[in-house]
Amino acid sequence: MALYSGHINKLIEELAALPGIGSKSAQRLAFHLINMPKDRVKRLTDAILDARENVRYCKECYTLTDSDVCPVCANRNRNHKMIMVVENTRDLAAYEKTGRYEGVYHVLHGAISPMLGIGPGDIRLKELIERLKGDVEEVIIATNSSLEGETTAMYISKMIKPTGIRVTRIASGVPVGGDLEYIDEVTLLRALEGRIEM
């Protein structure tokens, strides 16, 4: 027997399908949305639709942006000879919060995971190699300290080493199994400053 009407159940199901939202949170969000003024609900739905319609990948680093080139890549004051490789846009945002990294990024949109059937061709490695044909002096590998992140880091290192470009890995101030997006700025900064040659 359904506890709520069809419309409420459908809303709860859709919200529960979002990452990090369990059934109780979905239920709370559904009732909050239902009780919001209609103009606020419309602004929220318009913002979601607008973002889905207009957000795309940066042509240089592949982070999410609403213009052809993201603000970091467009900034000529950044050191474009230093590229930090991260797994996702949230990791990029975490490093940007430190306010101390002056290079640019490359977003892989995942990590190599043979167990999940994700190989090198399934993430943005080909695009990274293409970028390295330009004037690049250092690639900082800042993938997560998980098995997948470490596998990806080793793969990237082996690909880049023959080119003569310096390859470094962030230091282990980041806990093993930890996701960069949840780590505080000081720990991220220490990991960046303590990076090591690979």
Q: What is the CATH number of domain 6-54?
A: 1.10.8.420
Q: What is the mean pLDDT of each run of 10 residues along the chain (198 residues)?
A: 76 92 93 95 95 94 94 96 95 91 96 91 94 93 87 93 90 66 70 69
> What is the location of CATH 1.10.8.420 in the chain?
6-54
CATH class of the region 64-197: alpha beta
The pTM (predicted TM-score) of the whole model is: 0.76
Cα distance between residue 190 and residue 122, in whole Å: 30
DSSP 8-state symbol, 168: E
| Inter-residue contact 123 to 85 (CB < 8 Å) | no
Predicted local distance difference test score (pLDDT) of residue 172: 64
> What is the location of CATH 3.40.1360.10 in the chain?
64-197
Full strand arrangement of the beta sheet holding 103-107: 103-107, 79-86, 138-141, 166-169, 196-197
Angle, in degrees to the nearest 10, between helices 23-35 and 6-16: 120
* C-beta neighbour count of 125 within 10 angstroms: 20
* Angle ∠(70,76,79) on CA atoms, nearest 5: 95
Q: Give the residue ranges of DSSP H helices in the chain.
A: 6-16, 23-35, 38-54, 71-74, 89-98, 125-131, 147-160, 185-193
* Angle ∠(46,40,5) on CA atoms, nearest 5: 90
DSSP 8-state symbol, 113: B
With left for phi above 0 and alpha for psi between -120 and 50, is residue 35 left, alpha or beta?
Answer: alpha
Predicted local distance difference test score (pLDDT) of residue 1: 44
* Angle ∠(45,47,53) on CA atoms, nearest 5: 100
Phi, psi of 168 (to 5 degrees): -125, 160
Question: What is the three-class DSSP state of 65?
Answer: strand
Specify the amino acid at residue 160: I
